[in-house]
């Protein structure tokens, strides 16, 4: 059943992406919007279709219709904290991946200070925020949960990372090196889910990485160069260093950065792994409340029915005229 739901979910993912792209393309052509607006619409439509479709599939399999439960977005006290920690890790990873290019002098940025560049940057940030969430829901949400139930977490991580890399390689400007690096990135995002059983951490990593690459440095993200920014950067040098037209996602040093990021994810999620992934402790063994013997119970009941009165001093009269006897009067004949 889990495998059938997984395969059905993959088909829905492909269909949802096609529908979202066609719908966004039609609107952009109708109103004459830019490619930045098209990316925003594609991500918005895709996110909506994935949430609805996976929720329905989850209800079919489990008879539970919660959108949050189906898509690994639980509402809990540490949700913002998890997302923030992920954003810090993603931001630091992007800076580390760009550092060799800066040292080698292969980046040639140009700055655009016009109003349209700033408005386009805001739209790009919102689009990247939606795109990161849609990607995590697609590959680490419902589908990943069903694959874990069918094959186990280790096998599911490898298979889902391969599927993630295959689908991403269908985009433009993909290379063999970018395919391998996308597998490593898929393992990183899968680890974020396995350590928290939620997408908040992985969403933060994914968004911060993409936003830093596209908006701050003005470089392509996974081969997509249509995101607007006030910085537009051209690169020179070998592809293994810069990633070429695919961007830092296809640079060799990025693989090392992803492995280091895994160590940081593991360390930053110690409390989350304990609180959210371990099953609750259930007392075991046999009950030790041994009932007392019946004879003992009968004795206690009989003693409770016949109260015993003990007089330790003579009772005083009502008018208080009598006094207690002295020791001399007691001994007097």
* More confident of the two residues 327 and 204: 204
What range does the domain containing 91 cover? 78-276
Provide the angle, in degrees to the nearest 10, between the axes of the packed helices 200-211 and 176-196: 140
- Residue 207 lies inside a defined structural domain of this protein: yes
Query: Is the pLDDT confidence value at 237 over 70?
Result: yes
Provide the pLDDT confidence category of residue 156 given band limits of 50, 70 and 90. Answer: very high
Provide the pLDDT confidence category of residue 332 given band limits of 50, 70 and 90. Answer: very low
Give 32-70 as a DSSP string. Answer: T--HHHHHHHHHHHHHHHHHHHHHHHHHHHHS---HHHH
Question: Whole-prediction pTM value?
Answer: 0.81
CA nearest to 146, candidates 17, 57, 49, 14: 57
Count CB atoms within 10 A of the CB of residue 33.
Answer: 15
H or E element, residue 136:
helix 115-140
- Residue 19 lies inside a defined structural domain of this protein: no
- Structure token digits, residue 158: 């490898």
Count CB atoms within 10 A of the CB of residue 30.
Answer: 8
Question: How far is it, in rounded angstroms, from Cα 72 to Cα 144?
Answer: 10
Query: What's the number of domains the chain is made of?
Result: 1
Q: Mean of the per-residue pLDDT values for the chain? A: 87
Report whether 178 contacts 244 (CB < 8 A).
Answer: no
- Residue 146 lies inside a defined structural domain of this protein: yes
Query: Which pLDDT tens digit goes with each residue over 183-236?
Result: 999 999 999 999 999 999 999 999 999 999 999 999 999 988 888 788 888 888
Query: Is the pLDDT confidence value at 80 over 90?
Result: yes
Neighbouring-strand partners of residue 232: 110
- Residue 45 lies inside a defined structural domain of this protein: no
- Residue 230 lies inside a defined structural domain of this protein: yes
Query: Which pLDDT tens digit goes with each residue over 262-320?
Result: 999 999 999 988 888 877 666 666 666 777 788 777 787 777 776 666 666 665 555 54
CA nearest to 208, candidates 188, 226, 194: 188
Report whether 203 contacts 62 (CB < 8 A).
Answer: no
- Residue 234 lies inside a defined structural domain of this protein: yes
């Amino acid at each position: 059943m889990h495998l059938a739901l997984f395969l059905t979910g993959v088909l829905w993912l492909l269909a949802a992406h096609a529908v979202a792209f066609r719908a966004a393309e039609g609107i952009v052509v109708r109103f004459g919007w830019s490619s930045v607006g098209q990316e925003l619409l594609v991500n918005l439509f895709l996110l909506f279709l994935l949430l609805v479709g996976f929720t329905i599939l989850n209800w079919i399999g489990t008879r539970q219709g919660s959108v949050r439960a189906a898509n690994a977005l639980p509402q809990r006290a540490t949700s913002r904290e998890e997302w923030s920690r992920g954003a810090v890790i993603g931001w630091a990873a992007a800076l580390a991946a760009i550092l060799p290019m800066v040292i080698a002098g292969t980046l040639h940025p140009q700055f655009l200070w016009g109003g349209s560049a700033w408005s386009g940057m805001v739209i790009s940030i919102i689009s990247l925020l939606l795109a990161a969430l849609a990607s995590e829901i697609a590959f680490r949400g419902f589908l990943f949960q069903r694959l874990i139930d069918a094959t186990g977490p280790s096998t599911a991580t490898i298979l889902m990372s391969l599927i993630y890399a295959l689908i991403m390689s269908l985009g433009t400007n993909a290379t063999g090196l970018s395919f391998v690096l996308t597998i490593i990135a898929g393992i990183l995002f899968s680890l974020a889910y396995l350590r928290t059983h939620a997408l908040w951490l992985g969403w933060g990593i994914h968004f911060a990485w993409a936003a830093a690459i596209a908006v701050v440095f003005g470089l392509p993200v996974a081969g997509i160069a249509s995101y607007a920014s006030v910085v537009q950067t051209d690169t020179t040098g070998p592809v293994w260093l810069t990633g070429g037209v695919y961007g830092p996602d296809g640079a060799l040093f990025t693989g090392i950065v992803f492995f280091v990021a895994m160590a940081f994810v593991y360390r930053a999620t110690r409390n989350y792994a304990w609180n959210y992934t371990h099953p609750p402790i259930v007392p075991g063994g046999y009950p030790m409340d041994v009932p007392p013997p019946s004879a003992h119970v009968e004795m206690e009941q009989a003693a409770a029915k016949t109260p015993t009165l003990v007089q330790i001093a003579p009772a005083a009269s009502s008018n208080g005229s009598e006094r207690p006897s002295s020791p001399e009067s007691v001994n007097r004949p």
